[in-house]
Amino acid sequence: MIGIIGLGKVGSTVAEHLVLRELDDLVLIDIVKGLPQGNALDLSHMASELDIEVKIKGSNDYKDLEGSDIVILTAGFPRTSDMSRLDLLQKNKAIIEQISSKVMEYAPKSKVIVVTNPLDTMTYLSLKITGFDRNHLFGVGSELDAARLTFYLSSTLNIPRSSIDTFVIGEHGDSMTVLGSHSKVDGVPVKRLLNPSEFTDIVDKLKKSGAEVISLKGSTTFGIAAATSSIVESVIKDKREVHLVSFYLDGEYGFRDVCIGVPAIIGKNGVERVIELKLDEDEEKRFKKSVEVLKKSIELLMEDEMYRGYLA
């Protein structure tokens, strides 16, 4: 069974994607009375039309998470177009603390995937609160950033998206690191296909893309739902595919005690193995800066006495 906590626009769209993939039964949890039940009923009608045999339950009681193999955390305040993801830190930290405690109580053997922004910091906080094995609790990370990069490369080069492999690591935010040396078109590094100004322009578009979607339609939903459901499928089907997830580093890439986007093999045990790519000098510099940004956000959490016990 898959549990989803938070049935706003993101959570409900994630639920839709999971039903369409026919991965497992769902339990939808939200504190708003009627919201998860209504989503469950609506999604059940959709499944019936498509001859999809999954059971979907909506509940306001965290106890119904019992038996979940995977729990997805999407609850929290949404980002607005004038906010960075880190601006959400003060608003969403209390929500993540509460729901992480409930997951620890009712689904202690589950794999947990964090979607709530600021993604990397909320993943770190959830991991510290639950005390889960780091392989079993991680964030969606840079998966969506890589998908967006693929879109911009495809549009610029006028080539099929299926021909493109992209790698974006670091913060799911402004300090993300685009790996031009590892992002390739049919095996050819994109930096060989683009001049420096074209590459810089695409990276700028990528960094602004989330805010652009939010300014146009109010929230990002479809992209993040697709990224999340792809990762969930890799866990449930033990596909051992490479995904870009926010993972707690313990020496990988030379850093410790931070959750940050890195490529990893995802299978039935969650993160099976981190892939340590060789970075060029500029990529190393940018990745280090990203680590520093996230370390500062952890320091902001430490300033609140409520969280010191978890993070010390």
Residue 270's beta-bridge partner residues?
267
Strand order in the sheet with 137-139: 56-59, 26-29, 2-5, 70-73, 111-114, 137-139, 241-250, 256-267, 270-274
- Residue 231 neighbours by CB under 8 Å, 6+ apart: 113, 140, 143, 243, 245, 266
Q: Which of 17, 136, 172, 243 is catalytic?
A: 172
SS3 of residue 7 by DSSP? coil
The span from the CA of 154 to the CA of 159, in Å, is 5
172 is catalytic: yes
- Give the separation between CA 245 and CA 113, rounded to whole angstroms: 9
Question: 3-class DSSP state for residue 48?
Answer: helix
Q: Give the whole-angstrom CA distance, residue 26 versus residue 71.
A: 10
Half-sphere exposure in the Cβ direction for 204 (13 Å, CA): 6
Amino acid (1-letter code) at residue 63: K
Distances from the Cα of 57 to the Cα of 28, 36, 230, 239, 312, angstroms: 6, 8, 22, 27, 38
Q: State the burial class of residue 51 (Cβ atoms within 10 Å of its Cβ: 0-12, 13-18, 19+).
A: exposed
Beta strands (DSSP E) in 48-125 are 56-59, 70-73, 111-114
Active site residues: 172
